Amino acid sequence: MPISDEFAGRLLPVLEEIVAAYGTPFHIYDARGITETYRGMVEAFAGEPYRQYFAVKALPNPAVLSLLLAQGSGLDCASPIELELAARLGASTDDVVFTSNNTSPAEYRQALDAGALITFDDRAFFERVETLPETVSFRIAPHGLAAGSTLMGDAAHTKFGVPANELVEVYRDARRRGATRFGIHGMICANELDIDRASRAAVDVIELGALVAAEAGIELDYVNVGGGLGIPYRPEDKPLDFGAYADAIVQAQKRCFGNGTPRILTECGRYVTGPHGVLVTRVINRMRKAREMAGVDASMSALMRPGFYGAYHHFSLPFASDRPEVEIDVVGALCENMDKFAIGRTVPDPTVGDIALIHDTGAHGHAMGFTYNGRLRPAELLLTESGDVVEIRRAEGFDDYLATARWQPRTVVRGCGSHPAQEAKEAK
């Protein structure tokens, strides 16, 4: 949906100046909006033992992650590179949760050395590891749970987690192997906007956690309900009531655990930064094909959600509101027909040179970018608390595109046969 009035009120007065000085396209994030959303989450839990770990994959920019760490947020990492990023940002052991799947022994070792709170996604892997972390946690597979959101895919085909009916046994195994501290993890929704379904999903994890703990004879230090909270992408969407979500969780926690309440952890990414970013681009072509089209100077390499899964991102022309409207497709320059930011949108008739905004790019936007077709990833800017605009990632250029290429091939295995031309010469 359109960016907040507060963000718009600070961005739009300086936008033409930024574009003139810096060029397009770029993502720009609102530091104030991000910190306010984070603080709101903490306040909603009102002193209950709670911590939010930002899902690094949603917006892995050091400046934004530092901002969140400074506010007291932890980081949720799911790969070795994300773990390294957290370490370089000075995140200490209890600032990091590690929630991977299809995990390799090497990355498990890295998470262990980092002292992260590790969630095991798979039972066979758990049995293979020799050293257990200080706190052992398993991820619950979503099947069998009530809320199962379709966006996570068919629950019966999930690749995530340990089936609910095996949990008691794996915790008993863990205890037998000497584990003394335990957590449990369950993430059942994705981009969920419905408060009842989101709450139900979290409550399911708490209830199942309590049952499993009682039956396995363990106490849970924490229940991690994961991320997956939605943001209103469409103008008609209503924002999720995080206060109601937190209330439902706290009630379930008290009901199921009484006074020995485990801490609640969340791993939200999208909810924290999603609405506080916008992709700024410029109209470079106005075309009439089978449909009316406006071509912009960003491509899906800067934001792949619309092309990849038909996701809606609001599109606007902030300085063209007095023009007559037209129904139009907004396209990028990639040689793929799916490279469209908007299809059949009614907007003021775009004109070459217009500044255009693609909204809600603060999560899973730049991060999902790629370099196919040499349409490289754009810059990231940050609108700081004091109103400065700073570059927090430059745009990629030719050297980045070829940074990993070997101009002089490096021999990996030397073949034992000689070249046919060589053989012919030697035979003479």
Q: Would you tell me which residues interact with ligand PLP (CB under 6 A)?
A: 55, 57-58, 76, 78, 99, 187, 190-191, 226-229, 267-271, 363
Minimum CB separation from ligand PLP for residue 363, in Å?
6
DSSP SS3 for 389: strand
Minimum CB separation from ligand PLP for residue 149, in Å?
11
CA dihedral 198, 3, 78, 152 (to 10 degrees): 40
Cβ contact 362:392 at 8 Å: no
Minimum CB separation from ligand PLP for residue 271, in Å?
6
Minimum CB separation from ligand PLP for residue 321, in Å?
32
Q: Does 335 participate in catalysis according to the annotation?
A: yes
Between CA 261 and CA 278 the distance in angstroms is 40
CA dihedral 96, 97, 98, 99 (to 10 degrees): -150
Q: Which is nearer to ligand PLP, 18 or 56 (CB)?
A: 56
**Active-site position among 189, 256, 268, 335:** 335
Bridge partner list, 184: 138, 223
* Interhelix angle 242-257/195-216, nearest 10 degrees: 20
The amino acid at 361: T
The first and second tokens of residue 393, run together, are: 């990632």
Q: Which is nearer to ligand PLP, 186 or 318 (CB)?
A: 186
Cβ contact 220:213 at 8 Å: yes
Q: Which is nearer to ligand PLP, 19 or 112 (CB)?
A: 112
Minimum CB separation from ligand PLP for residue 98, in Å?
10
Q: Which is nearer to ligand PLP, 149 or 316 (CB)?
A: 149
Between CA 82 and CA 98 the distance in angstroms is 9
Nearest CA-CA partner of 218 in 160, 162, 137: 137
Minimum CB separation from ligand PLP for residue 350, in Å?
31
Minimum CB separation from ligand PLP for residue 11, in Å?
23
Please spell the DSSP secondary structure of 13-56, one letter per residue: HHHHHHHHHH-S-EEEEEHHHHHHHHHHHHHHTTTSSEEEEEEG
CA atoms 141, 145, 147, 150: torsion sign = positive
DSSP SS3 for 309: helix
The amino acid at 255: R
CA atoms 279, 280, 286, 292: torsion sign = positive
Active-site residues, by number, are 335
